[in-house]
């Protein structure tokens, strides 16, 4: 009698486990793939300047609109999911930028050093410039020096 009840108990377990496994929640389907941009444009909402970065090569163009300065080069790009960071440090300038493409937000710090060899009165004869740019919406950017209208 014990053997028969043990056999029925084992049969009930063997039949019941697969049934319970089928009742569990199904895995949600994966959405469409996220298309990662090949370049990103961080533009100051106040019109202070912009930073255009090629995410593949690290090439960039930076313009400080207030001072009429523009330059380019190649920096280091790191991508971790939605977070993108960019940095470059030289004797003439240093740039650090962070962007979150999921939240469409970016910010950058641009420092420009210029030590003229001769005393002149040109507008670019500035010893040190420090700019902190905030971009509240990465989708509405154009590489120009016009301030973004506030809503």
**What local confidence, expressed as pLDDT, does residue 94 receive?**
94
Structure tokens belonging to residue 52? 């255009």
**What phi and psi values does residue 26 have, to the nearest 5 degrees?**
-75, 155
Report the residue count for the chain.
Answer: 151
Q: Are residues 128 and 122 in contact, defined by beta-carbon separation less than 8 angstroms?
A: no
pLDDT at 46: 85
pLDDT in tens, 48-84: 899 999 999 999 999 988 888 889 999 999 999 889 9
Residues of the chain with pLDDT under 50: 115, 117
DSSP per residue over 50-67, as a string?
Answer: EEEEETTT-EEEEEETTT
* Domain boundaries along the sequence of the chain: 39-140
Question: Is residue 55 a contact partner of residue 146, using CB atoms and an 8 Å limit?
Answer: no
pTM comes to: 0.67
The residues pairing with 113 across neighbouring beta strands, listed in sequence order, are 128
Contact 31, 44 (CB under 8 A): no
**Residue 27, CA atoms < 13 Å, CB-side half-sphere:** 3
């Amino acid at each position: 009698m014990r053997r028969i009840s043990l056999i029925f108990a084992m049969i009930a377990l063997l039949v019941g486990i697969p049934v319970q496994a089928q009742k569990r929640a199904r895995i949600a389907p994966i959405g469409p793939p996220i298309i990662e941009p090949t370049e990103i444009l961080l533009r100051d909402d106040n019109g202070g300047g912009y930073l255009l970065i090629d995410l593949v090569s690290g090439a960039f163009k930076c313009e400080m609109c207030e001072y009429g300065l523009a330059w380019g080069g190649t920096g280091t790009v790191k991508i971790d999911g939605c977070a993108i960071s960019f940095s470059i440090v030289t004797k003439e300038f240093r740039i650090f930028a962070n962007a979150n493409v999921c939240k469409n937000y970016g910010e950058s710090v641009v420092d420009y050093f210029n030590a003229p060899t001769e005393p002149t009165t040109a507008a670019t004869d500035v010893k040190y410039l420090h700019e902190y740019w905030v971009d509240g919406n990465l989708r509405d950017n154009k590489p120009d020096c016009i301030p973004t209208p506030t809503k």
